[in-house]
């Protein structure tokens, strides 16, 4: 990783200021809330002494000892910079939790600059420093995606558009060079799903190799988050593993994808079909957006369709346009063959292309090296703890306790439509934070978990400052936390008896007809630090059609 260091004005004064702030973290709290579990106690920052002074007798040392001393001195200074960087990062997190965004940004920038100082002081340890810098910028990036504000609400009612539905009515030219090549590949490919090569399939392969290549790449990369889960569920339901490409075609593995026909989720269920397979909706949640629940429902539905038609192509077609449509087409023609029904024009146009798209994606991924798909680094699988909520609980409170950005919490729980999850919901939080969350929630009265907050006191903050931020009184904070004196100490965690604010009705995605649909572009969120620009958001790539499923 190549990093260009950006000069800072007054860096020595800033480092001195950081060192002074570090000392204040060693002050023991006089009233650290006794009811908080040990897991929630804010870690006390280590006090770091000034770098060791240069030995006054250095000129009298033998050259080989002098070289060793210089290396040790550089290493010790580098270690000190790393320690101070970690300390600045922790202060940035505390400021973020306190909604002090300018301070959070300043501390995060200081942390990056201190790590860059370590590069200059100990260039021999570049690989380890590279790793530390990557980890820190990744962590800061997650806070950036959350808008650098703990009080920001979850993206309420935001759904991704399904852009690939626009190509379902289109055909693409066939590259003559592809025919023999693809036929040879298919002949050597092992697949539970039968693979057919014809001009329509070749046309889509040609499209995905060229203009649609980014479509394939982004979806495969994103699939890493859910692929192990999907493969497990497909296996448990007894359907071909290749049917993972339905999720790729339907949504590009985006859990909150929504088509213009109101089909939603990674597997694009309309409400009535989802309800048949246990996907329910409440004012706060939509199970169609839950990746595992939707995958289970889709696999079960596909199994049922295959049991009815005895043919995977007809089952896939029925998944797209509904079994009644396919049943009618078979009854009118007497042919239970997808390609025959396609040639006779008795299936919806988008369904006639839907099956070839699935086949094209399957053939390309099974021969990844031939299509430049073998070097794609997939996103790591989502790994989380699940906490059963006994009361309606706000995401803001969960974010306060776990110290994870709201955007990350929302990404782990795409089925939650509002900024709070209902009682009985199995909330997903980052691996290792479940026990901490459960212990902390026990400290909040159940009927207040949708409104109260937990605040990490920052440097120089007073109860008056905190009360003003949450629109409560200092006396109410003191009373709720059983404080002996109306003072706040840095590092304390305080329950904030905030009032529940009235929420607007949950937004629902508009259902647009083709005549009224306006072109929309995907928005990519980018987060920048002084040393790196990282954008994890990929352009949504989704196929969706008229759903009777």
Burial of 384 (0-12, 13-18, 19+ CB in 10 A): middle
Residue 322 CA neighbour count, 13 Å, CB half: 14
50 vs 441, higher pLDDT: 441
Pick the residue with more confidence: 35 or 85? 85
Q: CA of 208: how far to CAs of 83, 135, 203, 355, in Å?
A: 48, 34, 9, 15
Question: What pLDDT, in 10s, does the model give residues 506-520?
Answer: 444 443 333 333 333
* Parallel, antiparallel or unpaired: strands 384-388 and 426-430: antiparallel
Average pLDDT over residues 447-460: 93
Tokens linked to 79: 């270690």
> Any idea which of 277-286, 406-415, 459-468, 522-531 has the lowest mean pLDDT?
522-531
Max CA distance (Å), the chain: 102
426-430 and 420-421 strand pairing: unpaired
pLDDT at position 19 is: 38
Q: What is the pLDDT of residue 357?
A: 94
Please name which of 479, 400, 491, 481 lies closest in space to residue 437, comparing C-alpha atoms.
400
Helix (H) or strand (E) holding 231: helix 227-237
Q: Angle at which helices 11-24 and 101-121 pack, to 10 degrees?
A: 110
Q: For residue 49, what are the CA distances in angstroms to 42, 53, 212?
A: 21, 11, 57
Whole-Å CA distances, 336 to 282, 317, 455: 39, 12, 64
Could you write out the DSSP letters of every residue in 343-363?
A: HTT-S-HHHHHHHHHHHHHHH
State the pLDDT at residue 81.
Answer: 80
Rounded to an integer, the average pLDDT of 369-384 is: 93
Tally of CB atoms within 10 A around 40: 18
| Exposed/middle/buried for residue 210 (C-beta within 10 Å: 0-12, 13-18, 19+) | exposed
Residues 347 and 321: beta-carbon distance below 8 Å: yes
Q: Yes or no: say if 279 and 285 are a contact pair by the CB < 8 Å rule.
A: no
> Which of the residue ranges 123-127, 192-196, 214-218, 539-543 would you say has the lowest mean pLDDT?
539-543
Ramachandran angles phi, psi of 44, nearest 5°: -80, 125
Strand-strand pairing, 533-534 and 420-421? unpaired
Q: What is the pLDDT of residue 224?
A: 96
Contact (CB, 8 A) for 330 and 313: no
Neighbours of 235 (CB within 10 A): 12
Give the containing element (helix H, strand E) for 454: strand 453-456
**DSSP-based three-state secondary structure for 496:** strand
Q: What are phi and psi of 388, to 5 degrees?
A: -75, 120
| Count of alpha carbons within 13 angstroms of residue 34, beta-carbon side | 5
Helix (H, G, I), strand (E, B) or coil at 119: helix
CA 460/CA 244 separation, integer angstroms: 54
The CA distance from 337 to 328, in Å, is: 13
**Residue from 202, 195, 197, 208 nearest 175 by CA:** 202
Q: Which is more confident, 302 or 168?
A: 302
Q: Please, which pLDDT band fits residue 154 given cuts at 50, 70 and 90?
A: very low
Residues 6+ apart with CB under 8 A from 176: none
545: left (phi over 0), alpha (psi -120 to 50) or beta: beta
Least confident interval from 84-88, 111-115, 157-161: 157-161
pLDDT in tens, 215-229: 899 999 999 999 999
Contact status, residue 397 vs residue 452, Cβ threshold 8 Å:
yes
Of 24-28, 80-84, 471-475, the range with the highest mean pLDDT is 471-475
Question: Is there a contact between 470 and 453 (Cβ–Cβ < 8 Å)?
Answer: yes
Angle formed by the axes of helices 312-321 and 291-309, nearest 10°: 120
E strand map for 217-285 = none
Query: In whole angstroms, how far apart are CA 399 and each of 39, 154, 315, 454?
Result: 15, 11, 43, 9
Token pair for residue 424? 């009985």
Are 242 and 191 within 8 A, CB to CB?
A: yes
Q: Spell out the domains of the chain, with CATH numbers in brackets.
A: 11-145 (no CATH), 155-451+500-549 (1.10.530.10)
pTM across the whole model: 0.67
In this structure, how many other beta carbons lie within 10 angstroms of the beta carbon of residue 386? 11
Q: By mean pLDDT, which of 46-50, 115-119, 187-191 is the weakest?
A: 46-50
d(CA 322, CA 9): 65
Q: Are 256 and 289 in contact (CB under 8 A)?
A: yes
Question: What angle (nearest 5°) sits at the alpha carbon of residue 114, between those of residues 110 and 116?
Answer: 120
Per 3-state DSSP, the chain is made up of helix, strand and coil in percentages (nearest 5) of 50, 5, 45
The answer to whether 370 and 185 have CB atoms below 8 angstroms apart is yes
Residue 67 phi, psi dihedral angles, 5° rounding = -60, -45
- Identify the residue whose tokens are 């550089």: 74
Residue 300 Rama label (left phi>0; alpha psi -120 to 50; beta): alpha
């Amino acid at each position: 990783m190549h990093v260009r260091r950006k000069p800072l004005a007054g860096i020595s004064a800033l480092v001195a200021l950081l060192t002074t702030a570090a000392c204040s973290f060693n002050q023991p709290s006089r009233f650290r809330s006794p009811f908080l579990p040990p897991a929630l106690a804010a870690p006390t920052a280590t006090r770091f002494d000034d770098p060791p002074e240069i030995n006054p007798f250095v000129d009298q040392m033998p050259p080989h000892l002098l070289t060793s001393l210089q290396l040790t001195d550089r290493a010790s200074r580098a270690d000190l910079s790393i320690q101070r960087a970690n300390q600045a990062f922790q202060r940035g997190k505390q400021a973020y939790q306190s909604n002090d965004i300018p301070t959070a940004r300043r501390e995060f920038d200081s942390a990056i600059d201190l790590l860059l100082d370590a590069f200059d002081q100990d260039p021999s340890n570049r690989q380890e420093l590279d790793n530390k810098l990557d980890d820190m910028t990744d962590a800061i990036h997650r806070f950036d995606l959350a808008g650098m504000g703990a009080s920001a609400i979850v993206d309420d009612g935001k759904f991704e558009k399904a852009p690939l539905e626009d190509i379902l009515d289109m055909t693409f030219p066939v590259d003559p060079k592809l025919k023999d090549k693809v036929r040879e590949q298919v002949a050597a490919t092992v697949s539970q799903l039968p693979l057919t090569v014809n001009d329509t399939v070749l046309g889509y392969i040609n499209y995905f190799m060229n203009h649609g290549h980014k479509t394939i790449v982004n979806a495969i990369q994103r699939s890493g988050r859910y692929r192990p889960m999907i493969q497990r569920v497909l296996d448990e339901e007894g359907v071909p593993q290749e049917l993972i490409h339905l999720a790729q075609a339907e949504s590009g593995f985006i859990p909150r994808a929504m088509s213009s026909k109101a089909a939603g989720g990674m597997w694009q269920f309309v409400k009535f079909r989802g309800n048949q397979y246990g996907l329910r909706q409440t004012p706060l949640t939509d199970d169609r957006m839950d990746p595992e629940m939707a995958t289970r429902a889709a696999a079960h539905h596909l199994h049922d369709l295959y049991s009815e038609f005895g043919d995977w192509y007809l089952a896939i077609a029925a998944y797209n346009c509904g079994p009644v449509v396919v049943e009618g087409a078979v009854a009118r023609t007497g042919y239970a063959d997808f390609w025959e029904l396609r040639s006779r024009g008795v299936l919806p146009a988008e369904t006639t292309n839907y099956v070839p798209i699935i086949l094209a994606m399957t053939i390309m991924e099974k021969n990844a090296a031939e299509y430049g798909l073998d070097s794609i680094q997939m996103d790591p699988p989502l790994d989380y703890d699940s906490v059963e909520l006994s009361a309606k609980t706000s995401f803001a409170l969960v974010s306060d306790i776990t110290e994870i950005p709201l955007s990350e919490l929302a990404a782990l729980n795409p089925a939650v439509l509002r900024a709070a999850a209902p009682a009985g919901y199995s909330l997903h939080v980052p691996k290792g934070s479940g026990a901490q969350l459960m212990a902390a929630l026990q400290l909040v009265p159940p009927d207040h978990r949708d409104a109260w907050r937990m605040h990490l006191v920052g440097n120089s903050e007073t109860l008056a400052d905190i009360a003003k931020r949450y629109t409560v009184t200092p006396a109410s904070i003191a009373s709720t936390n059983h404080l002996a004196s109306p003072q706040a100490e840095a590092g304390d965690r305080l329950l904030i008896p905030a009032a529940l604010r009235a929420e607007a009705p949950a937004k629902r995605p508009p259902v647009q007809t083709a005549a009224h649909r306006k072109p929309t572009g995907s928005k990519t969120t980018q987060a920048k630090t002084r040393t790196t620009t990282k954008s994890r958001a990929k352009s949504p790539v989704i196929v969706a059609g008229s759903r009777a499923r």
